[in-house]
Amino acid sequence: RIIRKVATFDFKGKEQPMELTFSREAHRELCEWKESVNNAIYSATESDAEKAVCGKLETYLMRFCLIIRIMKNICTEESATLIDTGSAEAAIKLVEYFREMENRVIRVSLSGNLDKRQSELLDALPYDFRTSDAIDIGRSLGMSESTVKRFLKNSALFRKEEHGHYTKMSCDP
């Protein structure tokens, strides 16, 4: 309904440029997301693909804020020039949805490049496991301790929760 309303909106007579700014609260919300979520993920990962996603999402976030505010204006027939906290929060949710979809694509593509023993180890590991568990399972598959530890560094497949404790990333498309 909203998209239909935006798509059929009559812009005639409304062609004057309008500058949109962020409310103080919205700006704070976006800065907090950037520091506590996006920069944290960028710093924690060794994956060039995941780092590239972080950069793209910062650009998308600003665009989504703009799109959401314009859609609100059209739907409420307002001409607000302030991007509010609600718009910023909605844009952050949208960005995080796209991050998860991008990460799923990365994980699925990387999991297709695993050799037979790596695939077997990935399948045999529970969602939540310790390094020692992975080493034991890896040994049963003929893998050395160093090979298993190197495999666990793949941030597209595993998240290091704390020293010696990992979770598997979802590979469901």
- Among 78, 111, 144, identify where a domain stops: 111
Q: What percent of the chain has pLDDT over 70?
A: 93
Q: Name the average pLDDT for the chain.
A: 87
Q: Are residues 32 and 100 in the same domain?
A: yes
Q: Are residues 105 and 126 in the same domain?
A: no
Give residue 50's pLDDT. Answer: 79
Please indicate, yes or no, if residue 4 is contained in any of the structural domains: no
Read off φ and ψ for residue 148, nearest 5 degrees: -65, -45
Contact (Cβ atoms closer than 8 angstroms) between residue 168 and residue 133: no
For the segment 47-57, the average pLDDT, to the nearest whole number, is 85
Give residue 173's pLDDT. Answer: 36
For the segment 59-88, the average pLDDT, to the nearest whole number, is 91
For the segment 55-74, the average pLDDT, to the nearest whole number, is 92
Query: pTM of whole model > 0.75?
Result: no
More confidently predicted of 33 and 77: 33
Return d(Cα 103, Cα 36) in angstroms, integer.
18
Read off φ and ψ for residue 158, nearest 5 degrees: -135, 150
Residue 99, domain extent: 20-111
Q: Which 3 state secondary structure label does DSSP give 170? A: coil
Which segment, 3-17, 35-49, 74-88, 124-138, is predicted with the most confidence on average? 124-138
- Among 89, 111, 133, identify where a domain stops: 111
Q: Are residues 36 and 64 in the same domain?
A: yes
What's the pLDDT band for 91 if we cut at 50, 70, 90?
very high
Please indicate, yes or no, if residue 37 is contained in any of the structural domains: yes
Residue 121 pLDDT exceeds 60: yes
Q: Which 3 state secondary structure label does DSSP give 158? A: strand
Give residue 172's pLDDT. Answer: 44
